[in-house]
Chains A and B, each alone.
Chain A
Amino acid sequence: MLEVKGLKVSYGGINAVKGIDLEVRAKEMVTLIGANGAGKTTTLKALAGLLKPAEGRVHYNGRDITGRPAFELVRQGLALVPEGRGVFARLTVKENLEMGAYSRGDRARIATDFDRVYALFPRLAERRRQMGGTLSGGEQQMLAIGRALMSRPNLLLLDEPSMGLAPLMVRRIFETVRAIAAEGVTLLLVEQNAKAALETCHRGYVMESGLIALADTAPELLNNPRVRQAYLGE
Chain B
Amino acid sequence: MDIFLQQLVNGVVLGAIYALVALGYTMVYGILGLINFAHGEVVMIGAMVALTVIQLLLASGVPLPGPVVAAIGLAAAIPTCMLLGFAIERVAYRPLREAPRLAALITAIGMSIVLQNVAMIIWGRRYHSVPSLLPVTPHQFAGATITDLQIFIVLLAALIMAGLLYLVHRTRLGRAMRATSQNPEVAGLMGVNINTVISMTFIIGSALAAVAGLMVSAYYGVAHYVMGFMLGLKAFTAAVLGGIGNLGGAMLGGLLLGVIESLGAGYIGTLTGGFLGSHYQDVFAFTVLILVLVFRPSGLLGERVTERS
Contact = CB atoms under 8 A, between A and B. Distances in A.
Interface string A62-84: 00000001110011000110100
B191 interface: yes
Interface string B220-233: 00000000000000
B186 interface: yes
B178 A90 contact: yes
A142 to B, nearest CB: 16
B188 A99 contact: no
A102 B188 contact: no
Given A74-B191, A82-B186, A102 B176 contact: yes
Interface in B167-203: 172, 175-176, 178-179, 182-183, 185-194
A74 B175 contact: no
Interface residues of B, number: 17
A102 B190 contact: yes
A151 B191 contact: yes
Contacts of A231: none
Interface in A28-81: 48-50, 69-71, 74-75, 79-80
Contacts of B183: 86, 88
Given A50-B185, A86-B185, A88-B186, A71 B175 contact: no
A99 B182 contact: no
A12 B175 CA distance: 33
Contacts of A71: 188-194
B193 A98 contact: no
Contacts of B185: 50, 70, 82, 86
A72 to B, nearest CB: 8
Nearest to A90: B182
Residue of B182, B183, B190, B194 with most chain A CB atoms under a 10 A cut-off: B190
A48 B191 CA distance: 11
A147 B178 contact: no
A151 B188 CA distance: 13
B189 A88 contact: no
Given A82-B186, A88-B186, A91-B182, A103 B175 contact: no
Given A88-B182, A89-B182, A50 B188 contact: yes
Contacts of A70: 185, 188-189
Nearest to A49: B188
A98 B175 contact: yes
A95 interface: yes
A147 B188 contact: no
Given A95-B175, A99-B176, A102-B172, A79 B189 contact: yes
Interface of B: 172, 175-176, 178-179, 182-183, 185-194
Given A71-B188, A82-B185, A88-B182, 8 more contacts: A49-B188, A70-B188, A71-B194, A86-B183, A90-B182, A91-B178, A99-B187, A102-B176
5 contacts: A74-B190, A74-B191, A82-B186, A91-B178, A102-B191
